[in-house]
Amino acid sequence: MAASATYEQRTLWRVRRHLDTARGNFAVVAAVFVMILFVVVPFTYLLVTSFKEGTLAFLGEWSLINYQNAIDGRDLVYQAFRNTIGVATIGTAISLLLAGLFAWLVERTDMPFRNLAFIVILLPIALPSILFVLSWTVLLSPRTGFINVPLRDLLQALGIELTDGPFNIYTLEGVIFLDSLRGVTTIFLMLVAAFRLFDSTLEEAAKVSGAGTFHTIRSVTIPLLAPALLAASMYSFISSMDQFEAALVAGLPGQVLLLPTLIYFTVRMQSPADYGLGAVYSVLFMLLMVVLLVLYRRIINKSERFVTVSGKAYRPQIIALGRWRYLAVGGVALFGIATVGLPALTLGWMSLLPPNSALILGSDTPLTFDGYVALFTNPRSLTIVWNTIVMLTTTATITMGIAFLVSWAIVRGRARGRGLLDGMSFLPYAFPGVTVAIALIFVFLNPPGNYLRVYGSVSILVIGLTVTYIAFSTRLMNGAIAQISRELEEAGRTSGATQLEVMGRITLPLLMPAFIAGWIWVASHAMRSFSIPLVLSSQKNQVIAPEIWRVWQRGYLSEAAAYGVLLMIALIPITFWMRRFMLRAGRWMGD
């Protein structure tokens, strides 16, 4: 009996000790709970569903039938896998070449108008991918494309007869073209700091030894920048694997399947929808992305070996381009025309066409503002705009709140498992948007998630986007918190403040520049998000980006273009506002 009492006392003592530890590590416990809720639970449902028979609403017994069906359709899977790898590989190579060249021109040469060039290269961020892709389908449609038609006339004058083309956007090459142009800005922003901080002493030594400019770049500059180039390449490759807009709009009409569109087609377009098979495709795609993410993290962790900037004073060498100076400016201008100029002009002209008018280059169709009038007088449009505002503000606030909590637990927490928490917070970057959406469908259409009645509301869009953006947000906040001295927080605890009060009254105000920068970044990306809102959409939670695609599909091209123009007008100032706060918060981003 005494032994039994001793055992009970020991158990009670252990429970009290664990509770005291949890209270002392409130942020760590809360962060773990949140990450399990937002990351582990959805993808556990996804994995479980892939091993279940039956329909989405009535999951049956455990089975390998879904995997067997995937094996039976392996030719289709192989085609999608091959196309996805091909697009990501070639698109990343082209993006890296252009971005590296632009970063070198802006930071290391005497190219004229370098500040303006930086803005031109940054501007594509303000053009949502869906608008970029839709505008290029108008420009390079094989029969009526605004670029193809005059090219055919020119070739006909030279004696070459063509009935369509010469370019066709609805091909694998067209998807690669779209992906490579969209990837340049992201890689440029990742490389420009590396070129700016590069110590040119080794380059100068090579030139003293008699090496020319191009030989120095090839044998000294590129090898020393290899970690930054490789990290940017891996980041871009992972992003390209997840690209959805070009695959949907330009790929599917030309029967070019990629893994994201294969998943979307399986669960949303084919009849009847096969959610079990879609879960299998999602699991396989997710595992592939996790492997790529692990490689990316290893590259980042080893990059310190190549540090060339020390505490000594240095000045990056400015290379004279000579007669190539204005050719370089022309290259940047051409990129701006291809990524922003032509798409914006195309959408602007289309938005002024009368409803149901044909897209014929050189037609004398009178221009009108009927598309904008229809947009502003349609009550449904106002609802969609309101849903979008609610979605982006709520997503940005919740995402940054979670990021602050998780990052504080990672950087300041003293409990075990912080490394695991850090990895868990970055893991969602490896989850494709379509996969995130499918996982949330399984969560909120099955018990106990279906009792919350989240499916079909704006809330499910917020949850999906929060999962997607948590990786970037925690990277930003990790570096910011690391720059705050512990002494300030310890002083607050000594004065009797609780851990929560210290975080809210001392740490968060000091982090406000980084917090606001992240908030704007998340809000602007949520505004133009496409894949997750498209897959999770219903009549009650429509938002702007997927609505543009639906209106376009129904043939209301001027109304869709008007939506696009208004979205661009809203995003342009937000983009430059985001850049200003990012620059102000740059000192916080040490991670």
Task: Clarify whether residues 428 and 550 are in a common domain.
Answer: yes
285 found inside a domain: yes
Would you say residue 286 lies in a domain? yes
pLDDT for 462 equals: 93
**292, part of any domain:** yes
Residue 358 belongs to some domain of the structure: no
171-219: pLDDT as tens digits:
999 999 999 998 898 888 777 777 766 656 655 565 556 655 566 666 6
| Residue 343 identity (one-letter amino acid) | P
Q: How confident is the model at residue 106 (pLDDT cuts 50, 70, 90)?
A: confident
Mean pLDDT of 259-280: 84
Burial of 141 (0-12, 13-18, 19+ CB in 10 A): buried
pLDDT of residue 201: 60
68-74 mean pLDDT: 84
Taking only the tens place, the pLDDT of each residue in 535-568 is 888 888 889 888 888 888 888 888 888 888 888 8
Asked if residue 572 is part of any domain, the answer here is yes
Q: What angle do CA 164, 167, 171 make, to 5 degrees?
A: 105
> Percent of the chain, pLDDT > 90?
15
Tell whether 527 is covered by a domain: yes
pLDDT of the residue at 575: 67
- pLDDT for residue 10: 58
Q: Please give the Cα distance from 36 to 444 (Å, whole number).
A: 16
> 181 vs 22, 417, 579, CA distance in Å?
49, 40, 20
| Distant-in-sequence, close-in-space partners of 229: CB < 8 Å, separation ≥ 6 | 96, 100, 191, 222
Query: How much is the average pLDDT of 493-515?
Result: 74
Instruction: Mean pLDDT check: name the lowest of 3-17, 26-40, 231-245, 279-293.
Output: 3-17
- pLDDT in the model for residue 170: 93
Q: Is the peptide bond before 272 cis (omega within 30 degrees of 0)?
A: yes
Tell me if 96 sits within 8 A of 190, measured CB to CB.
no
Tell whether 170 and 264 lie within a shared domain: yes
Domain boundaries, position 381: 26-43+374-591
**pLDDT tier at 2 (50, 70, 90 boundaries)?**
very low
Same domain, residue pair 389 and 298: no
Domain boundary among 300, 316, 350: 350
> For 39-48, 110-119, 290-299, which range has the lowest pLDDT when averaged over its residues?
290-299
**Cα Rg for the chain, rounded, in angstroms?**
26
Q: Looking at 350, 385, 413, which one is the last position of a domain?
A: 350
Question: Lowest-confidence range among 80-84, 429-433, 576-580?
Answer: 576-580
Mark whether 322 and 237 lie in a shared domain. yes
For residues 323 and 408, state if they share a domain: no
Summarize the confidence of residues 154-161 as an average pLDDT: 85
The answer to whether residue 479 sits within a structural domain is: yes
CB 191 within 8 A of CB 271: no
As for how many domains the chain has, the answer is 2
Same domain, 402 and 330: no
* DSSP-derived 3-state class of residue 54: strand
Q: What is the pTM of this model?
A: 0.81
Q: Where residue 329 falls among pLDDT bands split at 50, 70, 90?
A: very high
pLDDT value, residue 310: 44
Regarding whether 150 and 80 lie in a shared domain, the answer is yes
- Regarding whether 518 and 459 lie in a shared domain, the answer is yes
Lowest mean pLDDT among 4-18, 96-110, 114-128, 478-492: 4-18
Residue 583 lies in a domain: yes
Share of the chain above pLDDT 70, in %: 78
* 338 and 417 assigned to the same domain: no
Residue 58 has pLDDT above 80, yes or no: no
**Token pair for residue 59?**
């999951």
What's the Cα-to-Cα distance from 577 to each of 139, 213, 279, 399, 569, rounded to whole Å? 31, 37, 39, 19, 13
CATH of the domain at 585: 1.10.3720.10
In terms of domains, do 156 and 210 share one?
yes
The sign of the torsion formed by the CA atoms of 489, 492, 498, 502 equals negative
Kindly report the average pLDDT of the chain as a whole number. 79
Pair (484, 407) in one structural domain:
yes
* 343 and 418 together in one domain: no
Predicted pLDDT of residue 460: 92
What's the pLDDT at 309? Answer: 46
What is the distance between the alpha carbons of residues 263 and 257, in angstroms, rounded to a whole number?
A: 10
